[in-house]
Structure 1
Amino acid sequence: MTSKGTVVCKYWQRGCCNRYPCPFLHGGDNKWVRETKASNSNSRKTEKKEMVWRRTEEKEKEKERCLCKYFLHGHCKYGADRCRYLHAWSWSTGAHDFSLLTPLHGHSKPITAILQPSGSDKLLSSSEDGTVNFWDCHTGQCVLTLNFGTEIGCIMTDGPSSLFVGTRDSVKVYNTENNTLLSLSGPAGLVYALAAHDNKLFAGTQVWAKKDKGGMEVIYTHTEEHGVLALCETSDATGQSVLSCSVNDQTVRLYNLPSFLERGRIFAKKEVQALQTGPGGLFFTGDGTGDLKVWKW
């Protein structure tokens, strides 16, 4: 229970107390109250300064994780040591992270698909420039370029010698052993997806899903500020599942699964439309400039 003698008189504070003697504190007796108020005021100022400092520190950290736009075009006057923004094609949060092995230059337009057939030492990439490149996985050199003369939407292999190429209004079948080419007409528009099953080839220009009661349900939704272009699941050096998510701000966001804690980012000159995993911790990104990059956990 609070004693009256320790409480300041509210009428005295207003300058109109007419009680004598007053059971509450007056005058010099409330010195400790003024000191407490001053202490609280200083504390609030300190807290405010600390909040401003923390916000400033967070902004500076965010800047360090933003790609320097001048570095992007190759002419930052400050250089990597003095520039407050990032001079690298990626950043990550800690141990067991990924690194860029090598960029592969060979396409002149956006890359639409990346594929490494099982058991093959070749990496395949297709592009809107109408070409499919075969890359040697040991040297990183382009050993073969097939020019189909029209925009390519996707590629698929079926066996060691058959390459299926989705183009506008047709599917091309290329035999890598005897260098023969077969054209399958029928699709209307650019073929975006190919699949093979039971000696049948399926080609899709658009993919639709029908809602079915008792089927799959959404258990988690992660909202991206920017539109999603491509998704791909990989595993880091420890076996942790990581979701690679390409969005239309020219970055690829990497998230630990199932927590969705951000693991790192990959930057590109243009939007990354193709993502693919490979053996031995490899994964690949292909952007709108035609650059193909090889990454490794």
Structure 2
Amino acid sequence: MDVDGGGNKRVFHRLGGPQSDPSKNQKVCFHWRAGKCNRHPCPFLHRELPPPPSQQGLNGTASSKRHHAFAATTDGPSARNRGPNNFNGGASSTWGRTGGTRVFVRKMEKVCNYWVQGNCSYGDKCKFLHCWSMGDSFSLLTQLDGHQKVVSGIALPSGSDKLYTGSKDQTVRVWDCQSGQCLGVINLGGEVGCMISEGPWVFVGIPDVVKAWNTQTNSELSLSGPVGQVYALVVGNDLLFAGTQDGSILAWKFNAVTNCFEPAASLKGHTLAVVSLVVGANRLYSGSMDHSIRVWSLETLQCIQTLTEHTSVVMSVLCWDQFLLSCSLDQQLKVWVATQSGNLEVTYTHKEEHGLITLCGMHDSEAKPVLLCACNDNTVRVYDLPAFSERGKIFSKEEIRSIQVGPGGLFFTGDGTGQVKVWKWVVEPAPTA
């Protein structure tokens, strides 16, 4: 019980003792939560209110504020083994349903500022988090420090034991995957807008050019043509596509004879910068600052549909099986599915309290599909698919702009401070009976 050293009766009454007045204010003191209430007596509660029955712990009693609990239930083997390649085609009946999936119990969702600075005196008794995540499914392995500005791209070339990170500090850093040490810094003379890897190649978008490195031959190429910053890169149908600041999408094709990339096409249609690209189902999907998504045929390179349901910048697009997922600063994540006519329509909309920045799909330690959604409140939400039940949350000092899947259950996040964190999916403890 939270009473003062002298066992003050007024405090005891305010905390809900037998003699407490039911007419008292049942609101929790904001200043007490922040650890600095100096009112004696305070008209508000100095304790957390018990959660409603649906939010209680696995044993029927309220869970500790600092404990992270999952309730795992199933509705048959299909619920336990659902993956991205066997989603039910009738998506409207499964997206957003929590039945048969984990339930994430929300707790105090704030990282202790004093802990971040290394001087919290409360230790385990602190009401705030002393870690950078909530949830039992993944853990932080290490962090890579060196970049001075936001990390805008992370890449792991095939066959390489190096990790590449690009930043708006105009550098690319090369890290040793075994030791975590920085092996080199490449100064580009321009802010890195994006970075991807394809086979042994690493592609980096900077203003007015795309840099290409072959990590096996150590060859370096510069692809000219973009106007302004290159915000997005993707490879599909043997073509390299770049989304640029002027709203165009440039395409190059690799010529093995001359060992260079030759201009192949320029896709016009967006009226503002193209900031996200993804390839799937023989289509190229582009998200733009003009609030639209355009669907392009990879065979003809013609726009075959324009999606206009978002009301702000379409920050990220992701293909998952027969679905297209998109997120925007309008705080909405939309799931699209093709109709019989072949056109995409929204089958489910997930709403957040903050704008969404980037999406990343992967599998957890049990090969179940998971979606990571970075929001502009400096967090990443972790959801089971297709139910969108919350698995956990990742916190950061500033916005997380880059998420990249690695081998062996690893994934990487890069934030606005220039820090790269390495995470690993872990085997979850068996649910309590």
TM-score tier after normalising by the smaller chain length: 0.7 to 0.9
What is the match of residue 225 of structure 2?
186
CA contact (8 A) 2:171 2:187 kept: yes
Identity value in percent: 51
Alpha-carbon distance, 1:144 to partner: 2.3
Provide the alpha-carbon RMSD of the alignment: 3.1
Q: Whole-Å Cα distance in 1 between the matches of residues 177 and 151 of structure 2? A: 18
Q: Do the aligned partners of residues 220 and 167 (structure 1) sit closer, same or farther apart at CA in structure 2, a change above 3 Å counting?
A: same
Secondary structure in structure 1 of the residue aligned to 2:227: strand
What do residues 95-140 of structure 1 show as CA deviations (whole Å, max 9, x unaligned)? xx10001101121110001111233221111100111112111111
Q: Whole-Å Cα distance in 1 between the matches of residues 214 and 158 of structure 2? A: 17
CA contact (8 A) 2:363 2:370 kept: yes
- Relative to its length, the structure with more helix (as a share) is 1
Q: Whole-Å Cα distance in 2 between the matches of residues 220 and 199 of structure 1? A: 32
What is the match of residue 126 of structure 2?
83
What is the match of residue 387 of structure 2?
259
Secondary structure in structure 2 of the residue aligned to 1:81: helix
Q: Do the aligned partners of residues 82 and 127 (structure 1) sit closer, same or farther apart at CA in structure 2, a change above 3 Å counting?
A: same
Secondary structure in structure 1 of the residue aligned to 2:413: strand
Q: Do the aligned partners of residues 195 and 239 (structure 1) sit closer, same or farther apart at CA in structure 2, a change above 3 Å counting?
A: closer
Structure 1 segment 206-285 matched on structure 2, within 5 A: 206=274, 207=286, 208-209=293-294, 210-211=306-307, 214-285=342-413
Alpha-carbon distance, 1:86 to partner: 0.8
Question: Pick from 191, 197, 200: which aligns with 1:157?
Answer: 197
Alpha-carbon distance, 1:70 to partner: 2.7
Alpha-carbon distance, 1:169 to partner: 1.3
Q: Do the aligned partners of residues 56 and 171 (structure 1) sit closer, same or farther apart at CA in structure 2, a change above 3 Å counting?
A: same
What is the match of residue 64 of structure 1?
108
Alpha-carbon distance, 1:226 to partner: 0.6
Secondary structure in structure 2 of the residue aligned to 1:194: strand
Question: Pick from 202, 209, 214: which aligns with 1:170?
Answer: 209
Secondary structure in structure 2 of the residue aligned to 1:71: helix
CA contact (8 A) 1:100 1:295 kept: yes
Please say if 1:203 is aligned against 2:196. no
TM-score (normalizing by structure 1): 0.74
Q: Do the aligned partners of residues 258 and 203 (structure 1) sit closer, same or farther apart at CA in structure 2, a change above 3 Å counting?
A: same
What do residues 144-202 of structure 1 show as CA deviations (whole Å, max 9, x unaligned)? 22110210111233442x33211011112234456554332221111011234455432
* The structure with more radius of gyration: 1
CA contact (8 A) 1:63 1:84 kept: no
CA contact (8 A) 2:153 2:196 kept: no
Q: Whole-Å Cα distance in 1 between the matches of residues 50 and 213 of structure 2? A: 56
What is the match of residue 105 of structure 1?
145
TM-score (normalizing by structure 2): 0.52
User: Gaps (5+ residues) in structure 2?
Assistant: 1-21, 27-44, 53-63, 66-105, 245-273, 275-285, 287-292, 295-305, 308-337, 426-433
What is the match of residue 293 of structure 1?
421
CA contact (8 A) 2:154 2:196 kept: no
Which amino acid letter does the alignment assign opposite residue 67 of structure 1?
A: V
Q: Whole-Å Cα distance in 2 between the matches of residues 229 and 260 of structure 1? A: 17
Alpha-carbon distance, 1:80 to partner: 2.5
Alpha-carbon distance, 1:257 to partner: 1.2
Please say if 1:114 is aligned against 2:157. no
Q: Whole-Å Cα distance in 1 between the matches of residues 219 and 366 of structure 2? A: 44
Q: Whole-Å Cα distance in 1 between the matches of residues 214 and 352 of structure 2? A: 41
Secondary structure in structure 2 of the residue aligned to 1:244: strand
Alpha-carbon distance, 1:55 to partner: 7.0
Alpha-carbon distance, 1:54 to partner: 11
Q: Whole-Å Cα distance in 2 between the matches of residues 195 and 169 of structure 1? A: 17
CA contact (8 A) 2:158 2:198 kept: no
| Matched pairs, number | 248
Secondary structure in structure 1 of the residue aligned to 2:158: coil
CA contact (8 A) 1:63 1:85 kept: no
Alpha-carbon distance, 1:63 to partner: 5.6
